[in-house]
Structure 1
């Protein structure tokens, strides 16, 4: 006999799915061993690089003890699998290049990832003002491509807002949008 959806049997919760019932393990209440904590970290690091703070948060959420967490993270840092400075550089490069994020947005993201101010500043220094401006121009041109310029004010407001959401300064955003809208209208 199969358990009903949400029913707990022998410490495991059963949930229905498209292929029948699947067994989900019970939440960890007393933590686990250092080997289990290491396994969790390695599994998380296979997806993408993570900061020490991110890994610590995941391990705390899974109920591992503080001394086990500290020992495992220290060992992973010692062998080079955790490196906040390298993580910050990779994050800034990736998010600026592929998502078009500006320095302000990247600074906030790094802070949320648990990167200290000094490390974040060093990573953000790889983006010079010319690169940031060039990326903003690319984003605006992409949005303006194949669009008729019928209401300049409306388009300008929307593009400046888009750049602001991506972390670009208001003054640079307005300058870039004004120049690109004028060029596109001609």
Structure 2
């Protein structure tokens, strides 16, 4: 049997206390552990009592780590679980911590998913399909993901898809109309937007009008580039190489033939 002969507050951590047993420093505890075990000067502790206090202290430290992890930004339950696992906290303790965090309002996967979708929608080009996969990786349930994705209205998707199409078109301005459309469609699908929205973009391109002379200007730019590349070839061989290269780029044959006749 040992007696608590002194309890002192740590200088740098006012929420932690040093415990002295039989006039010697024994261990330190969090304020929550001190209160839970009602530790006071003169109290007698068995070895079993000390062991229980220290186990509780380790659990409290793990809880503190979780709180600190949550202090930087919102997290999903799955993210906190993975973090504590990496900190070598035992799984049964992690489950207790997660339950306590949820009871205290620190963890809410639906609130997290809603905030995640809104933030990504405002700050990135990512579409709902990509966001769905990212939330799955954070172990958010399918039901909560589907509810959170309701934040991403069809009107907003169309708006973002059109902006994405404009961005791609600007970068690919020397491409043929056909190749440009393929690049835009590829970007839309890759960014996680529903395939049916491709029709919205296609209509917009048609409205903007890929006039033949505009297509011709693009072809000439690409043709000059390939002409330099195949400069070492002459006559028919050079024309065939140019024709194949321009066709692969998606330009129509009648414009390619026109270019080769003028080249």
TM-score (norm 2): 0.53
Taking the aligned partners of 1:66 and 1:72, their CA distance within structure 2 comes to 10
SS of equivalent residue, structure 1 residue 47: coil
The answer to whether the 8 Å contact 1:140/1:180 transfers is no
What is the aligned partner in structure 2 of residue 45 from structure 1? 70
Offset of residue 102 of structure 1: 1.6
Is residue 160 of structure 1 aligned with residue 160 of structure 2? no
Taking the aligned partners of 1:54 and 1:146, their CA distance within structure 2 comes to 37
Taking the aligned partners of 2:129 and 2:175, their CA distance within structure 1 comes to 31
Structural mapping, 1:54-65, within 5 Å: 54-65=79-90
What is the aligned partner in structure 1 of residue 200 from structure 2? 176
Q: Say which structure is richer in helix.
A: 2
Instruction: Name which one, 1 or 2, has greater alpha-carbon Rg.
Output: 2
SS of equivalent residue, structure 2 residue 67: helix
Say if 1:41 and 1:92 are closer, same or farther in 2 by CA, change over 3 A. Answer: same
Taking the aligned partners of 2:149 and 2:126, their CA distance within structure 1 comes to 11
Offset of residue 156 of structure 1: 1.4
Is residue 79 of structure 1 aligned with residue 96 of structure 2? no
Determine which of 115, 124, 142 is the counterpart of 1:90: 115
The answer to whether the 8 Å contact 2:172/2:180 transfers is no
Offset of residue 46 of structure 1: 2.5
Two-structure CA RMSD over aligned residues (Å): 2.1
Offset of residue 178 of structure 1: 2.1
SS of equivalent residue, structure 2 residue 151: coil
Offset of residue 159 of structure 1: 1.4
Encode CA deviations 1:37-62: one digit per residue, 9 max, x unaligned: 22322232223211011110111122
Gaps of 5+ in 1: 1-31
Gaps of 5+ in 2: 1-56, 212-263
Offset of residue 155 of structure 1: 1.5
Encode CA deviations 1:116-153: one digit per residue, 9 max, x unaligned: 11111111112221211111112222333476354112
Encode CA deviations 1:163-183: one digit per residue, 9 max, x unaligned: 1111112231x2233234342
Taking the aligned partners of 1:167 and 1:150, their CA distance within structure 2 comes to 23
Offset of residue 185 of structure 1: 4.3
Taking the aligned partners of 1:184 and 1:62, their CA distance within structure 2 comes to 59
TM-score (norm 1): 0.73
Structure of greater relative contact order (alpha carbons < 8 Å, 6+ residues apart): 1
